[in-house]
Amino acid sequence: MPKIDVYDVDGKKVKSMDLKEEVFGIKPNEAVVHSVLINYLANQRQGTQNTKTRSEVRGGGRKPWRQKGTGRARQGSIRAPQWIKGGIALGPKPCSYKYRVNKKEKALAIKSLLSSKVLENALVVVDKFDFVEIKTKQVVSAIKNLKVEGKTLIMIPEKDEKVQKSARNIENVRTISVSTINVFDLLKYKNLIVTVDTVKKLEEVYA
């Protein structure tokens, strides 16, 4: 069972806690992580790109010249794809790129990335973020005290405006809650800062 130190926002060690093996101590499955990441990125695509075909562009109602006798190639419309301002042949149309991934696969991908953070010593546990007001300085100070460098993801147990708004203007720092956890953010951000309550909630959901 993995064991990890718990710090306060001043960077002082408060205690140690055990992490559940089935959530933070599994062997990371890279294939499943990759599969779930591709699904996440596909589901973010809007699919709103659109081009007009020859039947949708304006004009071209009549035949530009007679079929025979002019010496020119026969043409049925000045809005055919080969004409300037003509329609687009085989262009993109609005569509959905969304598809589903098995819930167990999603859970395994999340647990694989959480376990990776533990193996890479990139998981930092804080006792709590007890902010009285919204101030960016508080989060900057906490990150500095915890000696965390590089892109950092802060995960809180549930929505908390004081923490989220205090951190939103800091470069390379993002705040999410357990309900909005995803593989993209876990991969993009090198460090993961969580509270004790966040750990308990993750273990409750994924154990």
Q: DSSP character for 14?
A: E
Instruction: Indicate if 89 and 9 belong to the same structural domain.
Output: no
Q: Which domain holds residue 106?
A: 3-45+98-206
Instruction: Indicate if 169 and 198 belong to the same structural domain.
Output: yes
Sequence letter at residue 206: Y
Residue 149 burial (CB count, 10 A): 11
The mean predicted confidence, pLDDT, of the chain is 94
Instruction: Indicate if 74 and 120 belong to the same structural domain.
Output: no
- Rounded CA-CA distance 127/130 in Å is 9
- Write the pLDDT tens digit of every residue in 14-25: 999 999 999 999
User: For residue 113, what is the domain's CATH number?
Assistant: 3.40.1370.10
Question: Residue 125: its pLDDT value, please?
Answer: 96
- Write the pLDDT tens digit of every residue in 33-45: 999 999 999 999 9
- Rounded CA-CA distance 51/203 in Å is 48
Mean pLDDT of 111-130: 94
Instruction: Indicate if 14 and 41 belong to the same structural domain.
Output: yes
Cβ contacts of 151 within 8 Å, gap of 6 or more: 172, 173, 188, 189, 190, 191
Instruction: Indicate if 115 and 90 belong to the same structural domain.
Output: no
Number of compact structural domains in the chain: 2
Instruction: Indicate if 111 and 63 belong to the same structural domain.
Output: no
- Rounded CA-CA distance 52/39 in Å is 29
Could you tell me which of 3, 2, 1, 9 has the C-alpha nearest to residue 195? 9
Confidence check: pLDDT of 152 > 90: yes
pTM: 0.83
Confidence check: pLDDT of 26 > 90: yes
Distances (CA, A) of 112 to 21, 117, 184: 11, 9, 13
The pLDDT-based confidence of 131 (bands split at 50, 70, 90) is: confident
Distances (CA, A) of 138 to 7, 13, 123: 15, 18, 20
Instruction: Indicate if 198 and 143 belong to the same structural domain.
Output: yes
